[in-house]
A = this chain, B = another copy of it.
């Protein structure tokens, strides 16, 4: 077991109708002018945005708007938000949407408080002095950005996707109403299940030491997501199942499932980031397409963890052969991904991965991770190439 820091200051307001509390939460933040940040689709169609705006107006909370965030949120819109925030004296960013909107809001929060190019943070050239506070009304259970310290932005100039993490942008509050996730298309819902599971699995598969309590929480979370994901494939409007998954999404990425593990793995995430940066595939689907290949590649360096995962998450019977049990856990995970409509091969996306493209992806990934990544097994550029190839040739 290793020393750890844990900091999850976000005030969670969870349940039916809780979006009605947005104005009182903003009022207690004592802000003067809010930047209301959102996407372009469902928040408008469902009337949620109109409801939030009415609530702010009724409470006499001054706000300006910036919509148009897309999946894999763009640096150009972040720049637009920063300029708007600076010129209009914004002192609070309210994100209404999913992980992309929140990540974009966090980038604006850094940039609006800085006198340098915000991309310098994502490019590891600077560190921030401060950031504007961020609040969230969540509409997608997936990214966990509503409690996390991380934000991932895509620079269109070169299709470069980069993450940056700092406690100062952990949201002040997050409103989580599971009803708001019910209008999401099935495919995106399933991408969310995958992303949620992966945030815990990236922390779970380590060789650096573990904590029993953290493992118990992680395994309970994974079992809960698997069970309720299968319910939601049949019955997408099931409130209880939506709620279980939504709360799992927040707990999966607020650090709780990594306490004491000595460092997260996150290789699958980093390997996937280059795929969704270049081809604009859905992040959750990209993770599902890569994970099995990553798992088989690192298996022998982290065998006891894979066996424990198979036993405690998938209830695989102990055959006496540790490797066989571990492989069965990986196979069941991939079967589960397929059963919720996720790909388990990069070929399923339809693009071609030539040797040149793989070379480019691996190079970008190497640069993004600073040479190496991984806690189950430390991976380098050559390993990335092999995993891209394995995930494509399946």
> Which A positions have Cβ atoms within 8 angstroms of B?
1-9, 11-18, 211-213, 216-217, 219-221, 223-224, 227-228, 239-240, 243-244, 247-248, 251, 259-260
Cα distance, A9 to B254, chains bound together (Å): 12
Cα distance, A244 to B216, chains bound together (Å): 11
Chain B residues with CB under 8 A of A216: 217, 220-221, 223-224
* Count of this chain's copies in the oligomeric assembly: 2
Q: What 7 additional pairs, Cβ within 8 angstroms, besides A5-B12, A5-B14, A211-B244? A: A3-B15, A5-B11, A9-B9, A9-B11, A14-B260, A213-B251, A217-B220
Cα distance, A224 to B223, chains bound together (Å): 18
Within the complex, the shortest CB–CB distance from A66 to chain B, in Å, comes to 28
Chain B residues with CB under 8 A of A259: 14, 247
Chain B residues with CB under 8 A of A213: 220-221, 224, 244, 247-248, 251
Within the complex, the shortest CB–CB distance from A253 to chain B, in Å, comes to 14
Give the contacting residue for A244; candidates B11, B212, B243; CB below 8 A: B212
The answer to whether B227 and A243 touch across the interface, beta carbons within 8 angstroms, is: no
The answer to whether A11 and B1 touch across the interface, beta carbons within 8 angstroms, is: no
Chain B residues with CB under 8 A of A12: 4-7
Give the contacting residue for A212; candidates B219, B224, B260; CB below 8 A: B224
What would 10 A/B residue contacts be, using CB atoms closer than 8 Å? A1-B244, A6-B11, A6-B14, A9-B9, A9-B11, A212-B227, A216-B217, A216-B220, A220-B220, A243-B260
The 10 closest A-B pairs by CB, nearest first: A3-B15, A216-B220, A9-B9, A6-B12, A213-B224, A7-B11, A4-B14, A212-B224, A217-B217, A220-B220
